[in-house]
């Protein structure tokens, strides 16, 4: 359904102590958008992503997922969500892929993937298993389904983590530097999976340092600097002449 | 060597093994459940409950089990409220008092062991569970508890063996388990060494069985830590 | 009123006796720790030696004294020791029962147990010393004895300190079992006071509190000692 707003974030602010990390960020993702969020380390891009699924609690601002606003209590002191139930529900609609995979070490790959569908979504086990096997096929590690995470390479673990997130049938996928912890030769296999997802029309928000992904796969690029969106546009606009000097300087580092 | 005496002694001691095992299994089971409750209070985030749990752990780990047992056995009986209360038929039984104090004591030690296990669960794995919408009891049951228990298991095995030894204190509140019977045999026969040997062997065998069972459990819970299976 | 009197230091009060008893508990535990240190060193050396017989004997010692109830070991040493003393007395012409002094029996029994734990502590501490440091000592020409005294012992003690602290706490609580020999330490005195005043609850609570004071005070002392001993360690390596 193109034109449907899947994710809408309005004026998010977040401080750690006296240090303001996010100074008012807004962003909107329509169905099928693939948005790359770029920025130097410390620009707040990971915190921004974590605020969206409430792994960090923003001090102010609104978050809407698929038309539903996350209810917050901004009283005196720290903000908190009004309902844990709603938080759990929203999180189950947002797939999160972490920099360091974060697979559950005591479960096999298959068990990792069916955990959410069976225990959070309460779906029949047999159904969850057959869907999980299809997902494993898709990310190319079907032969590893009975293996424990510690026995896989980083690239395989990250693909399993993507499958785990997809198993929840999320409305939006959030990627937090999914290739930063990988050896260079393993980056490609993960990017291929992400690219295939994008081509299927998945709505994705990707914090990354992979310029080729930002340029060739995403349809929008957001550049963050010092807790603010410095500039945003299509890849052509951003990587052409239209970008800000700061962004040009930023991508200059990667050219070298 | 007087084999007739040894075998007679062994038979007498073996007759007391069921009492020892009953003390052991009841107190480990009750103490384990109590420990879960205490560790939940300790890490649950409520400052009052947490302070209570801290105090509990401090008291039961910091004082000798024997004084705790005497407090339960002799101390409670002193109060008329308890003697007239509904639980008196239970609390007047030495066996019940022994199990109660053993369980209360091991709960303090086990709570601390479980807390150590919980602290070694990687925050990242917890975060991953939150990110798919897990929280509260589901998160504890599916992710935190299994990982924490696996980490805590080696220390918990040690604690369980200590409990087997601790059941001997029940003899001092007139429960005739193995050590109590051994003491009676010694004071009748004055053949300390022989009686000791028989009793010691019984305890060593019991501990061996318990340790094997724990090792089996540990093995079945550590599949993910072992080397990957060789490809066929 | 009555409570204050029985706990006080007056004629009918148990206060002074309880304090003395706490002192006896400390003394038994300290003696046990010393005996255990000697036994523990011997057993650790046996376990670390290349002789298979010594290895076996070392393992046998720790298996028995860590696996058998403390109470049973106290009976073994108290009654066994007394029979031995009586036998010696008989040989020297004395007829009748001779008891082993209960302080000695208690300290020895708790010491034998603590020795089995200390053996593990010392063995672990020895294995924690880096091979390179030992080689460096040989390289500058230190002979065996000098190496042991100047390099090994100080390091073993430092690595062993947290373990010794644990053994001390364990022995402090084990010493309560020595009360079965009649030694007037803290447990026994609380028991006697409770029995003769019929104030069981009160005296076991007071006795328990005194134990808590002893365990938490000694915990603090050991923590301070550990910090001192780790002066030369970078902070991250402070915990062994």
- Per-residue model confidence as pLDDT tens digits over A134-150: 999 999 999 999 999 98
For the cut 50, the answer to whether the pLDDT of residue B94 exceeds it is: yes
Reported as a pLDDT band with limits 50, 70 and 90, residue B82 is: confident
B125 and chain A: CB distance < 8 Å anywhere? yes
Q: Which of A98, A102, A122, A128 best tests the B interface by mutation, with the highest count of B CBs <10 A?
A: A102
Q: Which residues of C touch B193 (CB under 8 A)?
A: 76, 80
The nearest alpha carbon in chain B to C178 belongs to B66
Q: Which residues of B touch A100 (CB under 8 A)?
A: 124
**Domain ranges for chain C:** 3-237
3-state SS, residue A5 = strand
Q: In the prediction, which pLDDT does C145 show?
A: 80
Q: In the prediction, which pLDDT does B41 show?
A: 94
- Tell me whether chains C and B touch (3+ CB pairs under 8 A): yes
- Give burial (CB, 10 Å; 0-12/13-18/19+) of C55: middle
Q: Which residues of A touch B151 (CB under 8 A)?
A: none
In percent, how much of chain B has pLDDT > 70? 97
- The three-point CA angle C167-C169-C170 to 5° equals 60
For the cut 80, the answer to whether the pLDDT of residue A246 exceeds it is: yes
Instruction: Taking residues A241-248, report their average pLDDT.
Output: 80
A175 bridge partner residues = A97, A206
CATH number given to C3-237: 1.10.3720.10
Reported as a pLDDT band with limits 50, 70 and 90, residue B223 is: confident
For the cut 70, the answer to whether the pLDDT of residue B11 exceeds it is: yes
| A-B C-beta contacts closer than 8 Å | 79
Q: Which of B124, B132, B143, B225 best tests the A interface by mutation, with the highest count of A CBs <10 A?
A: B132
Backbone angles phi, psi at B93, to 5 degrees: -80, 125
Asked if the Cβ–Cβ distance from A55 to B133 is below 8 Å, we say no
Q: How close A256 gets to chain B, by Cα (Å)?
A: 33
For the cut 80, the answer to whether the pLDDT of residue B228 exceeds it is: no
Asked if the Cβ–Cβ distance from C179 to B71 is below 8 Å, we say no
| B-C C-beta contacts closer than 8 Å | 115
Say which residue, A109 or B1, is predicted with more confidence. A109
Distance CA A50, CA A96 (A): 9
- Give burial (CB, 10 Å; 0-12/13-18/19+) of C20: middle
3-state SS, residue A35 = strand
Q: Which residues of A touch B125 (CB under 8 A)?
A: 102-105
For chain A, the average pLDDT equals 90
Instruction: Taking residues B80-109, report their average pLDDT.
Output: 90
The nearest alpha carbon in chain A to B150 belongs to A106
pLDDT in tens, A196-231: 999 999 999 999 999 989 998 999 999 999 889 988
B138 and chain A: CB distance < 8 Å anywhere? yes
For the cut 60, the answer to whether the pLDDT of residue B230 exceeds it is: no
Distance CA A66, CA C237 (A): 50
Reported as a pLDDT band with limits 50, 70 and 90, residue A254 is: confident
Q: In the prediction, which pLDDT does A118 show?
A: 93
Q: In the prediction, which pLDDT does C28 show?
A: 94
Q: Which of A99, A119, A151 best tests the B interface by mutation, with the highest count of B CBs <10 A?
A: A119
For helices B3-14 and B178-189, angle between their N-to-C axes, nearest 10 degrees: 150
In percent, how much of chain A has pLDDT > 70? 97
For the cut 50, the answer to whether the pLDDT of residue A14 exceeds it is: yes
Asked if the Cβ–Cβ distance from A103 to B131 is below 8 Å, we say no
Asked whether the beta carbons of B27 and B103 are under 8 A apart, the reply is yes
Distance CA C28, CA C106 (A): 7
For chain B, the average pLDDT equals 90
B219 and chain A: CB distance < 8 Å anywhere? no
Q: In the prediction, which pLDDT does A2 show?
A: 62
pLDDT in tens, B33-81: 999 999 999 998 899 999 999 999 999 999 999 999 999 999 888 888 8
Instruction: Taking residues A111-133, report their average pLDDT.
Output: 93
Distance CA B78, CA C199 (A): 8
pTM, two decimal places: 0.85
Say which residue, C81 or B132, is predicted with more confidence. B132
Q: How many CA atoms lie within 13 A of A85 on its CB side?
A: 0
Q: In the prediction, which pLDDT does B225 show?
A: 73
The nearest alpha carbon in chain B to A51 belongs to B131
Instruction: Taking residues B178-191, report their average pLDDT.
Output: 89
CB atoms within 10 A of CB C74: 27
Q: In the prediction, which pLDDT does C1 show?
A: 42
- Beta carbons within 8 Å of A47's beta carbon, 6+ residues apart: A14, A21, A22, A56
Return the closest-CA partner of residue A197 out of A130, A71, A97: A97
Q: How far is C-alpha C220 from the chain's CA centre? A: 17
C74 and chain B: CB distance < 8 Å anywhere? no
Q: In the prediction, which pLDDT does C237 show?
A: 40
B124 and chain A: CB distance < 8 Å anywhere? yes
Distance CA C35, CA C167 (A): 12
Place of tokens 């008891």: C99
Q: How close B139 gets to chain C, by Cα (Å)?
A: 31
Low-confidence ranges of chain C (pLDDT < 50): 1, 235-240
pLDDT in tens, A31-66: 999 999 999 888 889 999 999 989 999 988 999 999
CATH of A5-253, one of 1.20.1200.10, 3.30.470.30, 3.40.50.300, 1.10.287.90: 3.40.50.300
The H-assigned helical ranges of chain A are 45-52, 84-93, 109-119, 125-139, 154-166, 184-199, 211-216, 235-239, 245-255
Q: Which residues of B touch A53 (CB under 8 A)?
A: 131
Q: In the prediction, which pLDDT does A77 show?
A: 67
Write out the H or E segment, with its range, that includes residue B94.
helix B94-119
Return the closest-CA partner of residue C43 out of C109, C126, C107, C102: C126
Nearest CB to B131 within list A53, A147, A148: A53
Q: How close C55 gets to chain B, by Cα (Å)?
A: 19
Farthest CA pair distance, chain A:
54
Q: Which residues of B touch C67 (CB under 8 A)?
A: 161, 165, 200, 203-204, 207
Q: In the prediction, which pLDDT does C4 show?
A: 64
C132 and chain B: CB distance < 8 Å anywhere? no
What kind of fold does domain B3-223 have according to CATH? MetI-like fold (1.10.3720)
């Amino acid at each position: 359904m193109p034109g449907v707003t899947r994710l809408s974030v309005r004026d998010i602010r977040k401080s750690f102590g006296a240090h303001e990390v996010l100074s008012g960020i807004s962003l909107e993702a329509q169905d099928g958008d693939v948005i790359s969020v770029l920025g130097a380390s410390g620009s707040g891009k990971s915190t921004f992503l974590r605020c969206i699924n409430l792994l960090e609690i923003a001090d102010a601002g609104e978050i809407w997922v698929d038309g539903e606003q996350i209810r917050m209590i901004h009283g005196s002191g720290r903000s908190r969500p009004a309902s844990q139930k709603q938080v759990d529900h929203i999180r189950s609609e947002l797939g999160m892929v972490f920099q360091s995979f974060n697979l559950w070490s005591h479960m096999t790959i298959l068990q990792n993937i069916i955990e959410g569908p069976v225990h959070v979504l309460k779906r029949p086990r047999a159904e969850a298993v057959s869907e999980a096997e299809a997902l494993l096929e898709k990310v190319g590690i079907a032969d590893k389904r009975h293996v424990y995470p510690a026995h896989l390479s980083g690239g395989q673990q990250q693909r399993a983590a993507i499958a785990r997130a997809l198993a929840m049938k999320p409305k939006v996928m959030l990627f937090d530097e999914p290739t930063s912890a990988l050896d260079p030769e393993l980056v490609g296999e993960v990017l291929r999976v992400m690219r295939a997802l994008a081509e299927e029309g998945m709505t994705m928000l990707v914090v990354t340092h992979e310029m080729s992904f930002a340029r060739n796969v995403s349809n929008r690029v957001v550049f963050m600097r010092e807790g603010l969106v410095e500039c945003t546009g299509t890849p052509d606009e951003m990587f052409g002449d239209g970008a800000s000097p700061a962004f040009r300087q930023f991508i200059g580092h990667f050219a070298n | 060597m007087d084999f007739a005496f040894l075998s007679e002694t062994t038979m007498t001691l073996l007759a007391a093994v069921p009492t020892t095992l009953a003390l052991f299994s009841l107190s480990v089971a009750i103490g384990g459940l109590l420990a879960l409750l205490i560790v939940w209070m300790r890490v649950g985030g409520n400052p009052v409950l947490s302070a209570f749990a801290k105090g509990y752990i401090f008291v039961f780990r910091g004082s000798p089990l024997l004084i705790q047992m005497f407090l339960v056995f002799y101390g409670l009986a002193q109060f008329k409220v308890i003697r007239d209360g509904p639980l008196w038929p239970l609390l007047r039984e030495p066996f019940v008092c022994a199990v109660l104090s053993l369980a209360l004591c091991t709960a303090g030690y086990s709570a601390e062991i479980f807390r150590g296990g919980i602290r070694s669960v990687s925050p990242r794995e917890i975060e991953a569970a939150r990110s798919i919408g897990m929280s509260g009891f589901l998160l504890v049951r599916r992710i935190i508890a299994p990982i924490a228990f696996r980490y805590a298991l080696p220390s918990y095995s040690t604690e369980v063996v200590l409990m087997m030894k601790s059941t001997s204190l029940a003899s001092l509140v007139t429960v005739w388990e193995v050590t109590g019977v051994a003491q009676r045999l010694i004071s009748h026969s004055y053949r300390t060494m022989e009686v000791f040997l028989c009793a010691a062997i019984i305890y060593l065998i019991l501990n061996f069985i318990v340790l094997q069972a724990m090792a089996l459990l540990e093995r079945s819970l550590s599949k993910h830590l072992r080397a990957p299976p060789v490809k066929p | 009123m009555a409570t204050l009197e029985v706990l006080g230091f007056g004629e009918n009060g148990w206060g002074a006796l309880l304090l003395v008893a706490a002192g006896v508990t400390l003394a038994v535990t300290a003696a046990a720790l010393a005996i255990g240190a000697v036994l523990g060193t011997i057993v650790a050396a046996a376990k670390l030696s290349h002789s298979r017989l010594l290895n076996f004997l070392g393992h046998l010692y720790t298996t028995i004294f860590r696996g058998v109830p403390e109470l049973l070991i106290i009976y073994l040493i108290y009654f066994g020791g007394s029979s031995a003393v009586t036998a010696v007395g008989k040989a020297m012409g004395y007829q009748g029962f001779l008891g082993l002094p209960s302080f000695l029996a208690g300290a020895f029994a708790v010491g034998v147990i603590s020795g089995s734990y200390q053996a593990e502590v010392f063995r672990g501490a020895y294995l924690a010393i880096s091979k390179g440091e030992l080689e460096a000592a040989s390289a500058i020409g230190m002979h065996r004895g000098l190496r042991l005294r100047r390099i090994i012992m100080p390091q073993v003690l430092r690595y062993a300190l947290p373990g010794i602290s644990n053994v001390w706490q364990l022995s402090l609580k084990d010493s309560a079992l020595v009360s079965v020999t009649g030694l007037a330490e803290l447990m026994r005195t609380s028991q006697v006071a409770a029995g003769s005043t019929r104030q069981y609850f009160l005296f076991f609570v007071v006795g328990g509190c005194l134990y808590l004071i002893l365990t938490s005070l000694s915990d603090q002392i050991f923590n301070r000692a550990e910090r001192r001993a780790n002066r030369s360690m970078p902070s991250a390596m402070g915990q062994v």
